[in-house]
């Protein structure tokens, strides 16, 4: 739990893939997005990693 009372969850690509495929989506793209963020005020450099994905819902027939 974070100091503000919220929770965080860290996903792997495999977890995200399984969540969407089990819900009936088709995977188009799925990868990690790595960004270096700089806080100029505090002079801190932080590495951030996000999961970026594109999924498509099948067309209704």
pLDDT of residue 60: 83
Longest dimension (CA), the chain: 55
DSSP 6-42: -------HHHHHHHHHHTT-EEEEEEEEEEEEEETTT
- Whole-number Å distance between alpha carbons of 24 and 19: 9
Is the backbone of residue 24 left (phi > 0), alpha (psi -120 to 50) or beta?
left
What is the per-residue pLDDT for 10?
93
pTM reported for the whole predicted model: 0.76
pLDDT tens digits, residue range 11-48?
A: 999 999 999 999 999 999 999 999 999 999 998 999 99
CA atoms within 13 A on the CB side of 61: 1
């Amino acid at each position: 739990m974070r100091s503000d009372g919220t929770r965080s969850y860290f996903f792997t690509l495999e977890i995200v893939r399984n969540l969407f495929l089990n819900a009936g989506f088709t995977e188009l793209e799925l990868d990690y997005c790595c960004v270096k963020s700089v806080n100029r005020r505090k002079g801190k450099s932080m590495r951030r990693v996000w999961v970026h994905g594109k999924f498509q819902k099948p067309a209704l027939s």
